Amino acid sequence: MSRTRWRLGLSTTALLTASALLPSPAHAEAVADYTITVDPSAQGPAIDDTMYGVFYEDINRAADGGLYAELVQNRSFEYSTDDNASYTPLTAWAAEGAAEAVNDGGRLNERNRTYLSVAAGSTVTNAGYNTGIRVEEGRKYDFSVWSRAESGTTLTVALRDAAGTLAKVREVAAKGKWRKYTATFTATRTSNRGRLAVTTTAPAALDMVSLFPRDTYRHQPNGLRKDLAEKIEALRPGFLRFPGGCLVNTGSMADYSADSGWQRKRSYQWKDTVGPVEERATNANFWGYNQSYGLGYYEYFRFAEDIGAMPLPVVPALVTGCGQNRAVDDDALLKRHVQDTLDLIEFANGPRTSEWGAKRAEMGHPEPFHLTHLEVGNEENLPKEFFARFERFRAAVEAEYPDITVVSNSGPDDSGATFDTAWQLNRDAGVAMVDEHYYNGPQWFLQNNDRYDSYDRNGPEVFLGEYASQGNAWKNALAEAAFMTGLERNADVVKLASYAPLLANEDSVQWRPDLVWFNNHASWNSANYEVQKLFMNNTGDRVVPSKASGTPAVSGPVTGAVGLSTWATSAAYDDVRVTSADGKTLLSDDFSGDASRWTHSGGGSWTVQDGQ
Ligand code: AHR
């Protein structure tokens, strides 16, 4: 046995974060000795290559205006007040002359309902995302538009900013019924403030007005923004969990109805997101904007394959979560979702001769995507209702595809009644893998390094699908790294782990912290990203057991605060009491006074009324 003694240049308190715990200056100077004992001849658990991966959700505008390389915002005029109170079908567009969004029988197709009717001599201009459309000198940009116009109509297409033209103007001769037209620009100047303008010589209907950089990730059509995709690829993720989160387990689970028109605010349902892009109905995104589904299931599978990651899709379980807690009681609908899940497996893995394998081949990928895992549900707060439905999915998948692992979950928290009930149900039913989520402070991560040491080795395996230590500061990254050593030590039970969320457009942030940040022309990594990269690029084969002695103990008083909050609702609170484990009251308030101890942060409002 070799024994190594290292002198670590850390004060014993350097890992603590709460200011109330800061040592006196004299104490801060102290340097302690620690001993790490490594036994290279002993064998700990094997670590799977897939252990560390990424969780991608279309939150913080991670898709449109983010990873999806489309430069035109609201290209199909489908933005709606259903998505966001400030939206109209003309959001991101400006008109000189007459232009009107129309939703009538002259539409492009049933799932792309609104189009733009532009009068002769008028110009419509798109503002892109963030400060505008980003173009780089010398690079090519592919324009396309669907148009319906009389023969002899000319569409003039220009790329410009306030300082002038950004590329040679293009002309498109439109004729007759709906048809797709294309043109290519080469940028003569770099700009982050570009605008795309279309002028028509005669009345014209326009839809799917699109501009893509030629230089997408791997030069793929309908492709991904290169810098963002490459940042994800550089992590070398073992898996890609997609498409969400709350995105999946919220909204309506109902059937599409052509009679009532497109039903918006649907949960993310994979069949809505495949096929020709102009036939993918856009939808309200749970995070308060519109999602085009241009980046859909085919593109996710393709991306997973390109970066060498195992695809891990999440389908809704017909129990909503994320503040909408409701179980959908509709057996026919449940059966349809179960069938959709079987079809998803066929879409990913089926032969070209199968119905859904043929669709995949038609989209450009005759070979299978090798799906091995899929998750049903996300963070349901109603564990019993969730589990009853989960079992229907699992039974159907196992009957037809016994090699597919169906992943369950344990609710939105690291512990508590929902967590315990969900785990019990999963354990009793012999579920293969359970997804855990938690967003806690850095101190929690330091204190819970041993969380999985005591997990049952005969129970379900753990997929830590979402975690973050509530900050992008260096101390957060360090706390996460420390915690990850605990995941790795328990690699026999923790099989998969991913930080969350992955991407954030700096101008549309619904959730922070995030791993990678961007705007329309730049992207930058967080300290947390560097930690993830370090672990993912250096995944070991096997744990070598080690012991540390005299490790810094979390000592001194633990201080903090208690928060009361709501999400999209109102609530009254009274008689708040926090007690210590030995029964001492640490805080109590019956709101009979002035509530001066409480401070307000975030949105919404509150007031003390009638002693509540
Ligand atoms: O990662 C952000 C959100 O956190 C996810 O959508 C959800 O699963 C969790 O609550």
* Domain-wise residue ranges, the chain: 14-32+553-602, 54-63+219-548, 93-215
Does the Cβ of 500 fall within 6 Å of ligand 1? yes
For 434-445, the pLDDT digits (tens) are 999 999 999 999
pLDDT at 16 over 50: no
3-class secondary structure, 104:
coil
Q: Which ligand 1 atom sits nearest the alpha carbon of residue 468?
A: 1
Nearest to 136 by CA among 96, 92, 167, 178: 167
For 547-587, the pLDDT digits (tens) are 887 666 555 666 778 888 877 778 889 999 888 888 889 88
pLDDT at 369 over 60: yes
How many Cα atoms within 13 Å fall on the side-chain side of residue 489? 17
For 179-193, the pLDDT digits (tens) are 999 999 999 999 999
Does the Cβ of 246 fall within 6 Å of ligand 1? yes
Element (H, E) at 536: helix 527-537
Residue nearest to atom 7 of ligand 1 (CA): 245
Expressed in angstroms, the distance from the first to the final Cα of the chain is: 63
The rounded Å distance from CA 469 to ligand 1 centre is 14
pLDDT for 30 equals: 59
Q: Under 8 Å CB-to-CB from 300, ≥6 apart: which residues?
A: 56, 240, 242, 243, 311, 313
For domain 93-215, the CATH superfamily is Galactose-binding domain-like (2.60.120.260)
- Are 426 and 386 spatial neighbours (Cβ–Cβ below 8 Å)? no
Residue 523 tokens, joined? 């992207």
Does the Cβ of 412 fall within 6 Å of ligand 1? yes
3-class secondary structure, 41:
coil
Amino acid letter, 242: F
pLDDT for 255 equals: 75
For 441-469, the pLDDT digits (tens) are 999 999 999 999 999 999 999 999 999 99
CATH of the domain spanning 54-63+219-548: 3.20.20.80
- Are 408 and 376 spatial neighbours (Cβ–Cβ below 8 Å)? yes
| Average per-residue pLDDT for the chain | 91
Element (H, E) at 29: helix 25-29
Query: What is the maximum alpha-carbon separation in the chain?
Result: 86
The rounded Å distance from CA 249 to ligand 1 centre is 10
Q: Where are the alpha helices (DSSP H) in 221-310?
A: 226-235, 297-306
Nearest to 510 by CA among 230, 269, 285: 285
